[in-house]
């Protein structure tokens, strides 16, 4: 199995994290180890490469960042775990569709372990519980490697989702682990999901410290 470094962060601003993903992908060689970055972002809307601005209905005080992943518009914020996947998919023997399926299947398997029945959809990437979206995903593949990844809603405020058409779908209902009766501590939940994800992708996970580009926890104020 391929070893992958797992890096956990409390909270990271979107822009420097995105730049770090691109830098990592540009610098990697066929011998570079894969990495998963597990984190939260402060509130931000991100618009995919072919995203339509009209799907942002009322951003208000939440910034909108035009990014280079696939998909339309999504929201990141406190109470949501984001896992960025810097993977050599050629080495893993996966194509783009296989990669998407592996991510979705991992989330579905994690939820099944918690007693929650979930499913993917052919017409809209992500994972759904009774029609409500609990996890989103969007990837970029460059130089035979992926970056960006998945986001799963733990116990987040869902109000900002009403300011957009989530992933370009008008009126798409959203849900959270908490709303489904899952009350795992963040650290436990993230470790469990990473374990399932790594197994599905054929990776041996090894926890590693934060990289040099990370200069603080960017903690969200809790006044």
Using left for φ > 0, alpha for ψ between -120 and 50, and beta otherwise, residue 216 falls in left
Instruction: Confirm whether residue 219 is marked as ligand binding.
Output: no
Instruction: Confirm whether residue 138 is marked as ligand binding.
Output: yes
Per-residue model confidence as pLDDT tens digits over 152-171: 999 999 999 999 999 899 98
What are the residue boundaries of the structural domains of the chain, listed by start? 2-208
Instruction: Confirm whether residue 150 is marked as ligand binding.
Output: yes
- How many Å apart are CA 138 and CA 21, to the nearest integer? 14
Q: How many CB atoms lie within 10 A of CB 53?
A: 10
Q: How far is CA 223 from the centre of its chain?
A: 27
Question: What is the third-level CATH fold of 2-208?
Answer: BirA Bifunctional Protein; domain 2 (3.30.930)
Element (H, E) at 42: none
Q: pLDDT tens, position by position, for the chain (223 residues)?
A: 689 999 999 999 999 999 999 999 999 999 999 999 999 999 999 999 888 999 999 999 999 999 999 889 999 999 999 999 999 999 999 988 999 999 999 999 999 999 999 999 988 899 999 999 999 999 999 989 999 999 999 999 999 999 999 989 998 999 999 999 999 999 999 999 999 999 999 999 999 998 988 977 654 433 3
Q: What is the pTM of this model?
A: 0.95
Active-site annotation, residues: 167
**190-209 per-residue burial string, b: 16 or more CB within 10 A, e: under 16:** bbebbebbbebbebebeeee
């Amino acid at each position: 199995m391929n070893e992958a470094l797992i890096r956990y962060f409390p909270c990271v601003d979107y822009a420097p994290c995105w730049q770090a993903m691109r830098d990592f992908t540009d610098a990697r060689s066929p011998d570079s180890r894969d990495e998963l970055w597990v984190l939260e972002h402060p509130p931000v809307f991100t618009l995919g490469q072919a995203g339509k601005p009209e799907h942002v209905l009322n951003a208000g005080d939440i910034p909108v960042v035009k990014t280079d992943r696939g998909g339309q518009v999504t929201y990141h914020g406190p109470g949501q775990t984001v896992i960025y996947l810097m993977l050599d998919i050629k080495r893993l023997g996966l194509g783009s569709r296989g990669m998407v399926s592996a991510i979705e299947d991992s989330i579905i398997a994690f939820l099944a372990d918690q007693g929650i029945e979930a499913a993917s959809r052919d017409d809209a990437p992500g994972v759904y519980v009774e029609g409500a979206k609990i996890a989103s995903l969007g990837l970029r593949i460059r130089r035979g490697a992926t970056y960006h990844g998945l986001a799963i809603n733990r116990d987040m405020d869902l109000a900002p989702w009403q300011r957009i058409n989530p992933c370009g779908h008008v009126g798409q209902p959203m849900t959270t682990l908490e709303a489904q009766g899952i009350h795992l501590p963040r650290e436990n939940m993230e470790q469990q999901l990473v374990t399932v994800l790594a197994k599905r992708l054929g990776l041996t996970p090894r926890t590693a410290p934060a990289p040099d580009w990370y200069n603080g926890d960017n903690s969200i104020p809790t006044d």
